[in-house]
Amino acid sequence: MLSYLLSRSHEPGRRPGKLVDPEPEERVGGLTIYRMDFGGGHSPQERRDTDFEPMLEPLPDASDHALAWLHFQGDVSAAQLTRLGKKYDLHPLALEDVLNRGQRPKIDVYRDTLFMTLALPHVVDHAIAIQQISLFIGPNYVLSFHAGRHDAFAAVRERIHAAHGRITYAESDYLGYCLADVVVDSGFVVLARYNDELDGLEETVFDDRSDDLVGAIHDIRRRLIGLRKVLLSQNEALMRLVGLEHRLIHADNRPYFRDMQDHAKRVLDLCDGYRDTAASLLDTHLSLASARMNDVMRVLTLIATVFMPLSFLVGVYGMNFDTKYVWNMPELSYRYGYPILLGVMIVAVIAMLIYFRRKRWL
């Protein structure tokens, strides 16, 4: 997760705002453009194409209350972004951030546009990845870029078609909110997976003793460390949005922004909590492992303490001293030497067991 923030960093000294195509291995593969035109009294129109140029036209009419939403799914090239930048008068630094994935989530305020980069946590092939979402919110257009393959915003297009609720007002800030809200709520989906993972680990921690557990806990911790950094920035960016005074932002939409930021904080709280839980889990695992080791050691000590003296005793009477001298092991020639020795050993064992019992080792 942390590597998300590292990916595709500037090389030091490169011209800011210089658009460079991502490396082939960083590409997602393919580009699909969705265009929705709605509001202004017309029924919503959806177009979908892989061809770039024709999708830009017609420019939405500023006087009309219509809104054009262009969504770029996949890899946009530097050339295409330059074209877009000219058409919509976008700041080159913002365009660069669209291309250089791995931005900290943030919001940049320009005179006529708002630019946001967000981090969409997403489950790809059973692993959790973070994908960058970039948003330009203009007076009569919204441009969104998703550096991933799955169609995250299908539900929003559905809602536009359904033409129900506030979205029909065709306000660009509300549409931007809808998209950002999808990103924020995806956090719950991903964190629910962490919840399940941790629950699973918690169950195994009390009966398992394999190394896998330690590896799994470390893995989950490391991922949560990274995810937390990203979510923290996302929360900060959204907090800034809530307090933002800008001509593009309608006062009536503020409660929605607040609600979204509230969700972002909740996601962050969950992430924090899971990180702490994982740490506590490792502590617990260590405690249990040490408790089990104590058990093992106790058994070893019991066995050794009982049998070493006994073995010594029987070893004594296995010596070959010449018994013709009366001082050399006269016990060997006693009539009841063997039973006496057995008796001594039994008494010794009983005494040791009582001692252990007192020490609470038994």
Residues 174-233 that bind a copy of itself (CB under 8 A): 178, 181-183, 185-186, 188-189, 191-192, 195, 206-207, 209, 211, 214-215, 217-218, 221-222, 225-226, 229, 233
Which of residues 29 and 327 has its CB atom nearest to a copy of itself in the complex? 327
Burial class (CB in 10 A: 0-12, 13-18, 19+), 345: middle
Point out which span in 40-48, 53-61, 239-247, 324-332 binds a copy of itself (CB under 8 A).
324-332
Of the candidates 200, 243, 309, 343, which one interacts with a copy of itself according to CB under 8 A? 309
Residue 294 makes contact with a copy of itself by CB under 8 A? yes
| Neighbour tally for 281: CB within 10 Å | 20
3-state percent breakdown (helix, strand, coil) of the chain, nearest 5? 55, 15, 30
Interaction with a copy of itself in 104-123: which residues (CB under 8 A)?
A: 104, 106, 108, 110
Point out which span in 25-33, 60-68, 71-79, 266-274 binds a copy of itself (CB under 8 A).
266-274
3-state secondary structure (DSSP) of residue 95: helix
Of the candidates 23, 29, 325, 358, which one interacts with a copy of itself according to CB under 8 A? 325
Interaction with a copy of itself in 45-74: which residues (CB under 8 A)?
A: none
Q: How far is the CB of 76 from a copy of itself (least distance, A)?
A: 19
Q: How far is the CB of 119 from a copy of itself (least distance, A)?
A: 12
Secondary element (H or E) of residue 120: strand 114-124
Interaction with a copy of itself in 140-159: which residues (CB under 8 A)?
A: 152-156, 158-159
For CA atoms 347, 351, 356, 358, give the dihedral sign.
Answer: positive
Q: What DSSP designation does 165 have?
A: G
Which amino acid type is present at position 9? S
Which residue spans within 253-353 are E strands per DSSP? none
Name the pairing type of β-strands 66-74 and 31-39. antiparallel
Q: What distances in angstroms separate CA 23 from CA 75, 80, 101, one per listed residue? A: 11, 16, 11
Which of residues 56 and 193 has its CB atom nearest to a copy of itself in the complex? 193
Residue 5 makes contact with a copy of itself by CB under 8 A? yes
In the shown chain, the binding pattern of residues 267 to 286 toward a copy of itself, with x for contact by CB under 8 A and - for none, equals --xx-xxx-xx--xxxxxxx
Q: How far is the CB of 54 from a copy of itself (least distance, A)?
A: 27
CA–CA dist 348, 47 (Å, integer)? 92
